[in-house]
Amino acid sequence: MGRSLLVLFVLLGVAVLSVVLLADVFQKGIQEVTLPLRHENVIRQQAEEKQVDAALIAAVIYSESRFSDQTSEAGARGLMQITPETAREIEKLSGGTEFVLDDLSDPDLNIRYGTFYLRHLLDRFDGDQVAALAAYNAGPGNAESWGGSPMKVEDIDYEETRAYVQAVLEKQREYRHIYDLELGY
């Protein structure tokens, strides 16, 4: 009887461990679909180099492209959906001289460009994330016309941009909470 009980406990332990491991795999699979994270090494490196919150970078990428390289109808390209004109502005601001449009499809370069531009917008708007995100989505001129410092989400006149800023800020919190280790917190 003692040996049967031991075998039963071992089998029960294996079953519980299997359920726990499957639940973890299942949760990671759902997380990959609902809140993906890729290129975290580049995101961490750019966050540190440009002093931009890594979760903010990941949230912008998520909101712009869901971490999928694509080109929009407006011609914005790559993970951070940078338009060719914005890329040329980034090139001028950064002192670059060899911009090639196809570079925007390279995830590493796209994240570098996008983070540089995000840093530029944060500087332009004195660290105001709401204003910088509004400018990232609708252009700096529009963001400047929407109000004071700090800008409130409610100040944004364009419904699409207001929803974009709200979504990015929410995803930033989620990325910081769920991917704290991967993003270097």
From 67, 68, 75, 81, select the one nearest 136 (Cα to Cα): 81
Catalytic residue among 40, 64, 91, 170: 64
Give the separation between CA 42 and CA 47, rounded to whole angstroms: 8
Q: Is 144 a catalytic residue?
A: no
Residue 174, amino acid? E
Phi, psi of 138 (to 5 degrees): -120, 0
Residue 149 tokens, joined: 């410092």
Q: Give the rounded distance of the alpha carbon of 166 from its chain centre.
A: 13
CA 17 to the chain's CA centroid: 34
Instruction: Kindly tell me the sign of the dihedral angle through the C-alpha atoms of 24, 30, 35, 37.
Output: positive
Catalytic residues: 64
